[in-house]
A = this chain, B = another copy of it.
Amino acid sequence: MEVAVAEDPLYQRIAQHYRGAIRSGLMPAGERMPSVRSLQRLHQVSLSTALQACRRLEDEGLLEARPRSGYFVRSLRRAGMQPASEPDLRRAPDPAQYVGIHDRVSDFVARSESRPAVADFGATYAAGSLYPADALRAAALRALRRQPELLVQPAPAAGDLALRTAIARRALDGGMQLTPDDITITHGCIEALNVALRAVAQPGDVIAVESPTYYGLLQVLESLGLRALEIPCSPHTGLSIEALELAFDTHPGIKAVVASPDYNNPLGCVMPDADKARLVALCERRQVPLIEDDTYGALGGSDVPLRALKAWDATGNVIRCVSLRKTIAPGLRLGWVSGGRWQARIHMLKFAQSRANEALPQLTMAEFMASSAYDRHLQRLRRQVKQQRERIAEVIDASFPAGTRLSVPAGGMLLWVELPPGVQAHPLFEAALMRGIRVVPGTLFSNTSRFERFVRFSCGHPVTREAEQALRDLGAMAAAQV
């Protein structure tokens, strides 16, 4: 959140006041701005100061002047931008394009953290202020007071029952019927994916993944000696079921499919229900386990929960892996897995790999998830991230070179931007880094060179003036490459 500091000129303070209201949606597009004379009176400033404030907001694209009517909140300018382009399904996946990813990812992480961020569009979680710090802390304090020996007693081997119950209860809304016994608590979704993959595949096996996909998944596959077969995705509907079916025919050894159907990373799109049903049925028919990665599903565009792939699972063929970090508490390393037919094996692998999670974070999370504060938090986070997402899209629209393509998803935290031909993401990432601007180049999201013109923007942080300027700078850097 921006805070007005005392030495700001008066007009900046007034501009800031209304900027917040416009961005928060309190003053929606089309609404009339108070007249200059009203501003003069309301804020006890001179006419020229009031006018200066309005002009400032006009410069920022937030207001527009209409002759003889005054200033109005401007509507979003995304109308002109092309939606992201569809992939070429005829391009068969080629194992020869495999180049490995560890070095790239760790180089990327090290370089990203090498200097402080002026504007962070790289992180996959939101700003701390958007999470329920107080409620979680209160729950942790209560647990420590209630159980003075909590830190010196071993945690239950199966994971905390209250947390597994709260999770099962919440999963009902996503169309699933799970019991606490169907759920294994893990150290984040990443551990869930590790044990899910280890349960169904051996080193050397081929795993079908979305393309582009979360680079962390590519790294997990590589670290386990598994090979990724990248299946094209539509930026609007996700994994292409046709392309997957084709891959099953041409690569009979595929041992699992990993898909993230809801606001996936990096595309941000949602797979339609009909495709979800087809995907589950296809994997079932082919007897290939389907691993569902749900990281942002709870950050939907409406209050109607999305239906998980697991909701269509009649035979236990879907292994559901869920992150609780990015939607609830980035400081708690908690996720869960529901392993269907593989549940016993997954539970064993989790036990052999890192034993049960500690009790304190589980008790903290259980209390929060079982309360209505959880619902209120999600509503607020969804609303806030939506505003940020749309504002970032607007500024990109206004600042990036012609030919930039972008579809703005209805939920989640990410924007996947296609740069015009001739503009490369990696040099842009490097140049941005020099100015303390963090973005993630598309090259990280594939073992192929398919996404050299893409950049992923995370919309987790409030869009400050510095952030807007950073986006404009990025646009200028991109334009300079054309």
B94/A353 in contact, CB under 8 A: no
Q: Is A351 an interface residue (CB 8 A)?
A: yes
A132/B152 in contact, CB under 8 A: yes
Q: Among the listed B102, B186, B329, which residue makes an inter-chain contact with A152, where contact means beta carbons less than 8 Å apart?
A: B329
Query: Could you say which of A48-56, A188-196, A261-269, A382-390 contacts chain B?
Result: A188-196
B358/A304 in contact, CB under 8 A: no
Q: Is A330 an interface residue (CB 8 A)?
A: yes
A345/B96 in contact, CB under 8 A: yes
| Identical chains in the assembly | 2
A179/B353 in contact, CB under 8 A: no
Query: Could you say which of A133-141, A238-246, A397-405, A410-418 contacts chain B?
Result: A133-141
B133/A348 in contact, CB under 8 A: no
Q: Is A90 an interface residue (CB 8 A)?
A: yes
A177/B1 in contact, CB under 8 A: yes
A24-63, CB under 8 A of B: which get 1 and which 0? 1011000000000000011010000000000000000000
B202/A331 in contact, CB under 8 A: no
Q: Which of chain B's residues have a CB closer than 8 A to the CB of A345?
A: 96-99
Q: Is A3 an interface residue (CB 8 A)?
A: yes
Take A3-B314, A173-B42, A340-B90 as given contacts and tell me if A165 and B26 are in contact as well, using a CB distance cutoff of 8 Å. Answer: yes
B151/A352 in contact, CB under 8 A: no
B154/A133 in contact, CB under 8 A: no
Q: Is A87 an interface residue (CB 8 A)?
A: no
Query: Could you say which of A142-150, A437-445, A462-470 contacts chain B?
Result: A142-150
Q: Which of chain B's residues have a CB closer than 8 A to the CB of A304?
A: 41-42, 44
Q: Which of chain B's residues have a CB closer than 8 A to the CB of A316?
A: 1, 90
Q: Is A175 an interface residue (CB 8 A)?
A: yes
Q: Which of chain B's residues have a CB closer than 8 A to the CB of A128?
A: 149, 152-153
Q: Separation in Å of the A56 CB from the closest CB of chain B?
A: 17
> Residues of A within 8 Å of B, CB-based: how many?
103
B157/A354 in contact, CB under 8 A: no
> Which chain A residues in 213-266 approach chain B with CB under 8 Å?
216, 219-220, 222-223, 225
A41 to B199, CA, bound (A): 37
Take A1-B313, A303-B41 as given contacts and tell me if A102 and B352 are in contact as well, using a CB distance cutoff of 8 Å. Answer: yes
A154 to B223, CA, bound (A): 23
Q: Is A7 an interface residue (CB 8 A)?
A: no
Q: Is A366 an interface residue (CB 8 A)?
A: no
Q: Is A83 an interface residue (CB 8 A)?
A: no
A187 to B315, CA, bound (A): 33
Q: Which of chain B's residues have a CB closer than 8 A to the CB of A198?
A: 223
Q: Which of chain B's residues have a CB closer than 8 A to the CB of A84?
A: none
B191/A353 in contact, CB under 8 A: yes
Q: Which of chain B's residues have a CB closer than 8 A to the CB of A97?
A: 341-342, 344-345
A71-108, CB under 8 A of B: which get 1 and which 0? 00000000000000000001000101111101000100
Query: Smallest CB-CB separation from A341: which chain B residue?
Result: B96
Q: Among the listed B41, B106, B151, B355, which residue makes an inter-chain contact with A331, where contact means beta carbons less than 8 Å apart?
A: B151
> Which chain A residues in 435-469 approach chain B with CB under 8 Å?
none
B177/A202 in contact, CB under 8 A: no
Query: Smallest CB-CB separation from A200: which chain B residue?
Result: B96
Q: Separation in Å of the A95 CB from the closest CB of chain B?
A: 9
A65 to B481, CA, bound (A): 67
Q: Is A420 an interface residue (CB 8 A)?
A: no
Take A41-B304, A330-B153, A332-B358 as given contacts and tell me if A348 and B102 are in contact as well, using a CB distance cutoff of 8 Å. Answer: yes
Q: Separation in Å of the A93 CB from the closest CB of chain B?
A: 12
Q: Is A118 an interface residue (CB 8 A)?
A: no
Take A3-B314, A203-B202 as given contacts and tell me if A348 and B223 are in contact as well, using a CB distance cutoff of 8 Å. Answer: yes
A2 to B153, CA, bound (A): 19
Q: Which of chain B's residues have a CB closer than 8 A to the CB of A100?
A: 348
Q: Separation in Å of the A222 CB from the closest CB of chain B?
A: 8
Take A172-B17, A177-B1 as given contacts and tell me if A154 and B331 are in contact as well, using a CB distance cutoff of 8 Å. Answer: yes
Q: Separation in Å of the A290 CB from the closest CB of chain B?
A: 13
Q: Which of chain B's residues have a CB closer than 8 A to the CB of A3?
A: 313-314
12 contacts between A and B (CB under 8 A): A24-B179, A27-B172, A42-B305, A97-B344, A106-B351, A133-B152, A134-B148, A140-B360, A141-B141, A150-B331, A186-B354, A202-B225
Q: Known contacts A17-B177, A94-B341; can you find 5 more A-B pairs with CB under 8 A?
A: A26-B169, A96-B341, A99-B344, A102-B348, A149-B331
